[in-house]
């Protein structure tokens, strides 16, 4: 058996997979006898450029009804590469002055049997400058008996003078389903069976190139029996998808011990960290597709988390090309742990519970989500985050405006002067907050301070560094597919549910609250105000946003 891609090379345009945007106009031109004298086929390798060029060459002299028929002597000769009037040149290796001179001479010769001589120049961008110049003269006034087809993966490297004289068709990458379908056809003809998943995996690995897919399939056909995905993975040395899915899930759920165990096991089996991270990315990608309802296996994370995870792994891949041991792998994986909680994230772990530590560092604080260089400030920041996450959203909205400081056995919550309202509301809830603060920080007392800038020296800032407030959205956000319900607030009632401080825009506050509750503020109806205000509308569809009285 010859190479699969040669054996199953299309003999008609119908057999070419995909590329309808190329096939249709070409077929029309053939039928109407209006073929151009020079074509440029560009696109990635293995997607059918040379095949289509050969089909054109067949069509030129085909004696069948529907051209090219693939069976007449002309078509057969072209297919075998034995037609005297069809010249295939690999531009990369026929670049010398003599080659060009020879080419020019051949162009001038009349065809022997076919109506036209067809020159197919593969890797055309590799032609030398002198070769292009020689061709240009021919292309300016092409002899009527000549048809040129340039095929290239890099059309941008073709000289503009050539580009302006050719009909340019861009071939696209083939979809995985298109490739799998062709592989299925080949297998049927050979009387072999295969799992759809196996074919899709081969298709994915070939990155849209049919020729690569066919070569891969050819290697795999040496295996006995029906082709399964597990077989393909094993034969190609890929980590099994089930294991990668387990690993992804453990990481996304923050189950550090499970994740590390699985990673070590796979590493121990001989899989390179790069192929493990690459496989993990495939799993996350499928999870991302699933999160958007595009099929595939779902993962316990929202689309934004998955996207973040993919970005981090992509960066890790580069680092892994320099250093590729177990430690580097673990670092890459643990980097996925503190993704910003967006979509339907798992419930946060209580930070006081000390889970097993990822890396054997007996002196590090036992807190799985802390990066290795956890210092005192880092500890406070982590604790503060966990503290906030444990609060009810309404209470969190007030407390998160504070900056925490530890002084002895007291946790001091400092509110900026502009957040007097938050300060007041938080202080009112001290009874709720104190037990949580005790559990989280091991303090005995909780103090609320409103910082007054004007009273300098009244309460000097403590030596501990302040912790920046966390800007992430709370974990109560609605799942992505559901539209957020707009929250309409009528403020015309007698008792506004807030006490606006001077200089604070109450609608800002409401908007923040609405976000916290998983809603969205559409507009705020204002009390009859003495002066006109800026329209309050978040989405730009609410007009001026102010209802008439
Ligand atoms: Zn024919």
36 Cα–ligand 1 center, Å = 20
C-beta separation of 398 from 426 below 8 A: yes
Q: Evaluate if residue 495 carries a pLDDT over 60.
A: no
Question: When comparing pLDDT for 369 and 241, which is higher?
Answer: 241
211 Cα–ligand 1 center, Å = 24
At 380, is the pLDDT very low, low, confident or very high (cuts 50, 70, 90)? confident
Q: Minimum mean pLDDT among 78-87, 171-180, 521-530: which range?
A: 521-530
Q: Taking residues 82-93, report their average pLDDT.
A: 91
| CA distance linking residue 534 with residue 353, whole number of Å | 48
| CA distance linking residue 72 with residue 74, whole number of Å | 5
| CA distance linking residue 413 with residue 392, whole number of Å | 17
At 487, is the pLDDT very low, low, confident or very high (cuts 50, 70, 90)? very low
- Residue % of the chain over a pLDDT of 90: 47
Phi, psi of 489 (to 5 degrees): -115, 125
- Give the contacts of 202 (CB within 8 A, at least 6 positions apart): 179, 180, 183, 213, 216, 217, 220, 232
Count other Cβ atoms within 10 Å, centred on residue 302. Answer: 23
Question: When comparing pLDDT for 144 and 4, which is higher?
Answer: 144
78 Cα–ligand 1 center, Å = 9
Strand 403-407 to 410-415 pairing = antiparallel
Cα 520 from chain centroid (whole Å): 28
76 Cα–ligand 1 center, Å = 7
At 420, is the pLDDT very low, low, confident or very high (cuts 50, 70, 90)? confident
C-beta separation of 306 from 282 below 8 A: no
Q: Minimum mean pLDDT among 164-178, 383-397, 437-451, 485-499: which range?
A: 485-499
Tokens 């970005």 belong to which residue?
Answer: 311
77 Cα–ligand 1 center, Å = 9
Average pLDDT score over the chain: 80
Question: When comparing pLDDT for 388 and 250, which is higher?
Answer: 250
217-238 as b/e, with b when 16 or more CB fall inside 10 Å?
bbebbeeeeebbbebbbeeeeb
47 Cα–ligand 1 center, Å = 23
71 Cα–ligand 1 center, Å = 5
111 Cα–ligand 1 center, Å = 17
Question: Residue 90 corresponds to which tokens in the numbers above?
Answer: 């690999």
249 Cα–ligand 1 center, Å = 56
Query: 3-state DSSP call for residue 404?
Result: strand
Q: What is the DSSP string of 94-158?
A: --SHHHHHHHHHHHHSPPSSSSSEEEEEETGGGS-HHHHHHHHHHHHS--TTEEEEEEES-GGGS
Q: Taking residues 268-277, report their average pLDDT.
A: 93
| CA distance linking residue 130 with residue 126, whole number of Å | 11
192 Cα–ligand 1 center, Å = 30
Q: Evaluate if residue 282 carries a pLDDT over 80.
A: yes
pLDDT in the model for residue 463: 45
69 CB burial (10 A radius; 0-12, 13-18, 19+) = middle
14 Cα–ligand 1 center, Å = 14
**How confident is the model over 147-198, as pLDDT tens digits?**
999 999 999 999 999 999 999 999 999 999 999 999 999 999 999 999 999 9
Torsion on CA atoms 260, 264, 266, 272, rounded to nearest 10: 110
**How confident is the model over 296-337, as pLDDT tens digits?**
889 999 999 999 999 999 999 989 988 889 999 999 999 888
64 Cα–ligand 1 center, Å = 5
Residue of 50, 48, 63, 52 whose CA lies nearest to 26: 52
C-beta separation of 47 from 23 below 8 A: no
| CA distance linking residue 28 with residue 48, whole number of Å | 19
pLDDT in the model for residue 61: 93
175 Cα–ligand 1 center, Å = 29
Q: Evaluate if residue 113 carries a pLDDT over 60.
A: yes
At 545, is the pLDDT very low, low, confident or very high (cuts 50, 70, 90)? very low
Residue of 380, 439, 379, 365 whose CA lies nearest to 413: 380
Question: Residue 6 corresponds to which tokens in the numbers above?
Answer: 């040669």
Q: Taking residues 63-83, report their average pLDDT.
A: 94
Tokens 């440029």 belong to which residue?
Answer: 40
Q: Evaluate if residue 511 carries a pLDDT over 60.
A: yes
| CA distance linking residue 138 with residue 135, whole number of Å | 5
pLDDT in the model for residue 392: 76
Question: When comparing pLDDT for 382 and 462, which is higher?
Answer: 382
pLDDT in the model for residue 409: 84
C-beta separation of 350 from 385 below 8 A: no
Q: Taking residues 435-453, report their average pLDDT.
A: 83
144 Cα–ligand 1 center, Å = 21
410 Cα–ligand 1 center, Å = 91
């Amino acid at each position: 058996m010859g190479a699969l891609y040669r054996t199953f090379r299309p003999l008609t345009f119908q057999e070419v997979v995909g590329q309808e945007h190329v096939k249709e106009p070409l077929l029309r031109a053939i039928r109407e006898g209006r073929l151009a004298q020079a074509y440029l086929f560009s696109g990635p390798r293995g997607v059918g450029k040379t095949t289509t060029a050969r089909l054109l060459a067949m069509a030129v002299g085909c004696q069948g009804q529907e051209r090219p028929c693939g069976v007449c002597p002309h078509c057969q000769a072209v297919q075998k590469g034995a037609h005297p009037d069809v010249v295939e040149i690999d531009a990369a290796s026929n670049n010398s002055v003599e080659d060009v001179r020879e080419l020019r001479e051949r162009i001038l010769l009349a065809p022997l049997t076919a109506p036209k001589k067809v020159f197919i120049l593969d890797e055309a961008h590799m032609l030398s400058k002198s070769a292009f110049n020689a061709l240009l003269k021919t292309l300016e006034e092409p002899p009527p008996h000549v048809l040129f087809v340039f095929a290239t993966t890099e059309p941008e490297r073709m000289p503009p003078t050539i580009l302006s004289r050719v009909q340019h068709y861009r071939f696209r990458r083939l979809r995985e389903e298109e490739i799998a379908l062709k592989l299925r056809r080949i297998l049927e003809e050979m009387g072999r069976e295969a799992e759809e998943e196996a074919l899709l995996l081969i298709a994915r690995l070939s990155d849209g190139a049919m020729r690569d897919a066919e070569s891969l399939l050819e290697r795999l056909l040496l295996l006995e029996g029906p082709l399964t995905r597990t077989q393909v993975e094993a034969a190609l040395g890929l980590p099994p998808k089930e294991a990668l899915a387990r690993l992804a899930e453990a990481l996304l759920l923050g189950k550090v011990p499970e994740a590390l165990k699985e990673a070590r096991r796979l590493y121990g089996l001989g899989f390179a960290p790069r192929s493990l991270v690459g496989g993990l990315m495939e799993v996350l990608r499928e999870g991302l597709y699933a999160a958007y309802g595009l099929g595939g296996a779902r993962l316990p994370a929202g689309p934004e988390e998955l996207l973040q995870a993919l970005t981090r792994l992509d960066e890790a891949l580069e680092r892994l090309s320099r250093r590729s041991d177990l430690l580097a792998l673990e670092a890459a994986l643990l980097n996925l742990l503190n993704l910003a909680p967006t979509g339907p994230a798992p419930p946060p772990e209580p930070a006081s519970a000390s889970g097993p530590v990822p890396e054997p560092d007996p002196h590090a604080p036992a807190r799985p989500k802390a990066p290795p260089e956890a210092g005192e400030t880092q500890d406070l920041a982590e604790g503060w985050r966990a503290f906030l996450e444990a609060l009810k959203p309404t209470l969190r909205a007030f407390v998160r405006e504070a900056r925490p400081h530890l002084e002895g056995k007291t946790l001091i919550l400092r509110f900026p002067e502009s957040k007097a309202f938050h300060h007041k509301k938080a202080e009112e809830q001290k009874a709720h907050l104190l037990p949580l603060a005790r559990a989280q920080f091991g303090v005995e007392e909780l103090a609320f301070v409103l910082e007054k800038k004007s009273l300098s020296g009244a309460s000097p800032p403590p030596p501990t560094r302040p912790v920046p407030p966390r800007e992430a959205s709370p974990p109560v956000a609605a799942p992505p597919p559901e539209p957020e319900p707009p929250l309409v607030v009528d403020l015309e009632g007698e008792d506004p549910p807030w006490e606006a401080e001077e200089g604070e825009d109450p609608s800002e506050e409401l908007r923040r609250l609405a976000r916290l509750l998983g809603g969205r503020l559409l507009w705020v109806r204002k009390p009859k105000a003495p002066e006109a205000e800026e329209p309050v509308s978040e989405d730009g569809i609410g007009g001026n946003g102010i209802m008439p009285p």
